[in-house]
Chains A and B, each alone.
Chain A
Amino acid sequence: MQEPISTATEPPFWQSENGLLSRESVARILEAGLERGGDFADLYAEDTVVTALTRRDRKIRDIQYNVQRGVGIRVISGKVVGYAHTADVSQESLLEAARTAGRIAKGEVRSVTVELANAKLHALSPVAQYPDQAASSAKVDVLLRTDEAARAHHSSIKEVSVMYRDVVQRLLLATSDGKLAEDERVRTSLFCSAVAALGSDRQSGSGRIGGMKGFELFSEISPESVGERAAAQAVKMLTAGPAPSGQLPVILTNGWGAVLLHEAIGHGIEADFNRKGTSKFSEMLGKRVASDIVSIHDTAMIPNHWGSLNVDDECGETRETELVRNGVLTSYMYDRYNAGLMGKDGWGNSRRENYRCVPMPRMTNTIMRNGPHSFEDLVRTVKRGFYAADFTGGQVDITNGQFVFSVSEGYLVEDGKITAPVKGATLIGDGADVLGKITMVADDFELSFGGCGKNGQYVPVGLGQPHLLISSMTVGGTKG
């Protein structure tokens, strides 16, 4: 792996202010958190800079620059979690926050000693060009190129909106059992939406790219391709007829189609729901949850990918976790708190949106690897079905396993061929039932990325899969 060739412009606040969050002072803060008898304490310090530019109506409409600096301190006593956070990062204020979090333990004040050593940290995602060092004019140019490519694609394109966003996040994490880690997460992304109009009909399309990387993203994938993708989708949907309604065989696209894995099973096997016994997948370890050609992994280890992590948000070592092997559920995804209560000693899926948030078990990059078939093989077997080529997103009800995803680009499959485009529709199903109906897996694995919300916390996640054939699923169009 190559060494990063540049570093971010401004050091995080704990480096620029003398001794603040030094190893010793962090240890003192954790000790203050534990002085009333808590079992465990951790600290999460964050210095994040977000730069976002929006182009609409052929103009750079918005530039936003947000700085987020603060520290969250958690104390766990038995089953109870105390959490406090502050943006006032003086040592006194941090000690006070630690004591506030520690108040959940009711003991007499005692003296504890915390000693810290560096935690294991991967170096998965080197950054070639830090986005905070790219000139604003270069970002403006990316927006312009995307916009113009979308408009040039077809005369029916009437409106184009483009959003550029980069996030440079520096973290300092420490746990009272002696781990300390400093990490950096740099994410750069571009999103385009285009509206095509024909008579009174309007359709929209979208395209996006992103990675755990810097401004080099745009030398790897051109901004033009993002604009063209958005425009092409909008134009295709202009001629789309109504989507079918009812039970049909469904082919899910590669890449972003893995929203299926994320919703149909991913959330349901996050440890918190299973500790509480509220998931449809509770008590299902070792049991069949999918057809025997289905294997699913969650991996934080894909270099430069959106959901990859060098270390999790509780200093846990990140890794690849096998979740489903040949249709059998082999593991849940753990954070430290739930692993502790469930008698597990490994985790690596602990994440939080920012320093204001208590960590939870979350997915990183959830993937299904290649099968033996070509995409054409899948299509050939379908007499009458639905091809879901793009989605806007999904949602799941953990308790009964019911999930949906919203298709933004769909096609009919007739007599072994992909034929007419049809308008978006929602697909709905039951997790284990639908995974059990995966009958063919193609050999064209692709990665994709998105954002995931849970209990009000939003984190970046990766996804990936080849094309899949589901023998039957409910398609929610309007045409019987």
Chain B
Amino acid sequence: MDYTEIAHLAVKAAMDAGADEAEAYLTVEDYLSLTARMKEIEKVERAGVTGLGLKVFKDRRKAYVTGTGLTARDLKVMARRALDYAAETCEEESNRLCEEAVGTSELTVFDTDLARQDLQTKIDLLLRLEGAAYDRDPRVKNTEEADYWDGTFEKIHVNSRGLVSREKKTHCGLSLSVLAMDGDERQVGAQYQAVRYFSKISPEEVGEEAARHALRKLGARPVKSQKAPVVFDNRIGLRFLGYLIAAVNGERVALNETFLAGKVGESIAPAHVSIVDECDREGGYANSIVDGEGIRTENKNIVSDGVLTTYLHNLHSALKLGALPTGNVQRGSYEREGALGAHNLYLAPGKSSREEILGSVKSGLLVTNLMGMGLNIASGHYSIGASGLWIENGQITHPVERVTIASTVQAMLMGIEEVADDLRFWAGSGSPTFKISEMTISGE
């Protein structure tokens, strides 16, 4: 089936039904997933999902309708329904296609080697993954789940202004969570890897790291409630960047719903802090050329030398705030219209080593795991469950659990005292280890 042709037919159906402008977004997905546990395969899943989302604009109103039926009749029904619904929405200047959403683009990140791998090779990877964890220490005694997945994801995005944007990517990955046990105590350690090329998969590394995380939690206990420095491990730093991304979402900023509203141009962090959003990073997992509204993506610093330089805008928020769309509408499955987000996002690495940062902590917490939601985006207030390792005079003394850390994200940003040089990426985005001068730790 020629999916580009179908996408064009969908746009035509919408225009024929009376739309002023229209856009079709079709995704074709194939995947395999394998689950194993205790050296036995427990689950084999295979599937393909193809579907189409149709966005119509009429008199500055819009609607989004999706379906999996792709016959000419299905497309006509969708188009008619979309126009009926659009009539119920309110007029809005941004209910139209972007002027810049034109032209042809194609991005292919396709691993031909992946298609050549047979099922047994993939099953063997899972056995190696789990084996690596068990080989590390006899206290690794149980497995929650070992998973392998791979697939292809293709998207075709066309509109009535002439945009034809195609993207086709392969992906594969592994994840493992194992239990370390000591007496009555059980602690879980989890690790994953998501890559575009089969040759990059490294089961031994992932397995060993899952085991290491479980083992180092054994003997964890709460600490006394206190104010102390908190170091975010490079495993978890990305969560912190996620708060920032939520707070610079132009849709929220336009409605004054975030604590960073009105702060562009101001220093929100010390001068050694820069936060980067890249769309064409060498080997980047989340590279892209055109965003979910058909706008060309671009590299940018969101925070540059401590100064908040930009929000992320779609056409709607850009028009509201007199800015330009930033090419940050992230769009996966056809089922959703897409939402503002970053591409390959990272906190720029600093000069100190991780050891130097830990060594500088007189008494404080190295956080390796977070639990819960934590953030009130309107006010920036932050409180979340944490576990990790206690540091005393620069030395790790014991694992910590059942504590919370609290502050405001504003104070945490200003309090980033040091950033390490150990930047690590997780499926596109990443963070080095960094130290925040003080947070409230609640425990015993």
Contacts and interface: CB of A to CB of B under 8 A. Distances in A.
Chains A and B belong together in one complex: yes
Interface of A: 53, 56-57, 59-70, 79-87, 100-101, 103-104, 136-137, 140, 158-159, 161, 195, 197, 201-204, 243, 245-247, 273, 276-278, 280, 356, 358, 392-395, 397-400, 402-406, 408, 423-426, 428-430, 474-480
14 contacts: A60-B89, A62-B89, A65-B63, A83-B46, A85-B47, A100-B46, A140-B88, A195-B255, A202-B259, A356-B47, A395-B372, A428-B442, A474-B402, A474-B403
B68 A69 contact: yes
B404 A428 contact: yes
A57 B442 contact: no
Interface in B49-106: 49-51, 62-69, 81-82, 84-86, 88-90, 92
B337 A64 contact: yes
A195 B378 contact: yes
Given A80-B43, A195-B257, 15 more contacts: A59-B92, A62-B64, A64-B66, A67-B66, A81-B42, A201-B379, A245-B440, A278-B142, A356-B47, A395-B373, A399-B188, A402-B385, A423-B376, A424-B383, A474-B443
Contacts of B222: 474
B255 A478 contact: no
Interface stretch (B163-171, B179-187, B294-302): B179-187
A86 B335 contact: no
B89 A426 contact: no
A61 B90 contact: yes
A400 B188 contact: yes
Contacts of B92: 59, 61
A80 B37 CA distance: 11
A314 to B, nearest CB: 15
Nearest to B184: A280
B401 A243 contact: no
Given A394-B372, A426-B374, A67 B257 contact: no
A394 B43 CA distance: 29
Contacts of B139: none
Contacts of A430: 402
Most B-side CB within 10 Å, residue of A65, A137, A276, A476: A476
Interface string B366-392: 000001111011110101110100000
Contact of B45 (A195, A358, A480): A358
Most A-side CB within 10 Å, residue of B86, B89, B90, B92: B89
Given A61-B90, A278-B144, A425-B383, A81 B43 contact: yes
A82 B41 CA distance: 10
Nearest to B84: A136
Given A247-B444, A394-B372, A402 B401 contact: yes
Interface in B386-415: 387, 401-407
Given A80-B44, A87-B51, A404 B406 contact: no
Contacts of B405: 476
B352 interface: no
Contact of B186 (A66, A204, A399, A428): A399
Given A63-B85, A246-B225, A392-B373, A404 B384 contact: yes
A202 B404 contact: no
B326 interface: no
A399 B179 contact: yes
Given A80-B43, A246-B442, A247-B444, A67 B383 contact: no
B202 interface: no
A474 B337 contact: no
A476 B142 contact: no
A399 B143 CA distance: 11
A426 B383 contact: yes
Given A81-B43, A159-B255, A356-B49, A65 B225 contact: no
Contacts of B66: 64-67
Contacts of A140: 88
A204 B383 contact: no
B108 interface: no
Interface string B137-166: 000001110000000000000000000000
Most B-side CB within 10 Å, residue of A65, A69, A195, A204: A65
Nearest to B35: A81
Contacts of A246: 225, 442-444
Contacts of A59: 89-90, 92
A256 to B, nearest CB: 14
Contacts of B9: none
A404 B385 contact: yes
B440 A426 contact: no
Given A62-B89, A477-B383, A202 B225 contact: no
Contacts of B401: 400, 402
B443 A276 contact: no
A480 B225 CA distance: 8
Contacts of B378: 195, 202-204
Contacts of B188: 278, 397-400
A476 B406 CA distance: 7
A280 B68 contact: no
A56 B222 CA distance: 43
B376 A424 contact: yes
A430 B401 CA distance: 10
B124 interface: no
B254 interface: yes
A397 B371 contact: yes
A278 B220 CA distance: 18
A399 B47 contact: no
B37 A276 contact: yes
Contacts of A201: 379
Interface in B313-357: 335, 337
Nearest to A428: B385
B259 A426 contact: no
Contacts of A399: 144, 179, 186-188
B385 A426 contact: yes
B336 to A, nearest CB: 8
Contact of B90 (A60, A202, A426): A60
A478 B88 contact: no
A56 to B, nearest CB: 7
List of 3 A-B pairs having minimum Cβ-Cβ separation, nearest first: A476-B404, A404-B385, A59-B90
B40 interface: yes
Nearest to B411: A478
A350 B385 CA distance: 30
Contacts of B217: 400
Nearest to B63: A63
A82 B46 CA distance: 8
Nearest to B376: A424
A277 B188 CA distance: 12
Nearest to A159: B255
Contact of B402 (A85, A429, A477): A429
A63 to B, nearest CB: 4
Contact of B442 (A63, A245, A278, A280): A245
Contact of A65 (B65, B383, B407): B65
Most B-side CB within 10 Å, residue of A53, A85, A197, A278: A278
B359 interface: no
Nearest to B43: A81
A395 B443 contact: no
A259 to B, nearest CB: 11
A204 B377 contact: yes
Interface in B190-244: 217, 220, 222, 225-227
Contacts of B283: none
A56 B44 contact: no
Contact of A83 (B45, B90, B373): B45
Contact of B43 (A64, A83, A86, A276): A83
A402 B369 CA distance: 12
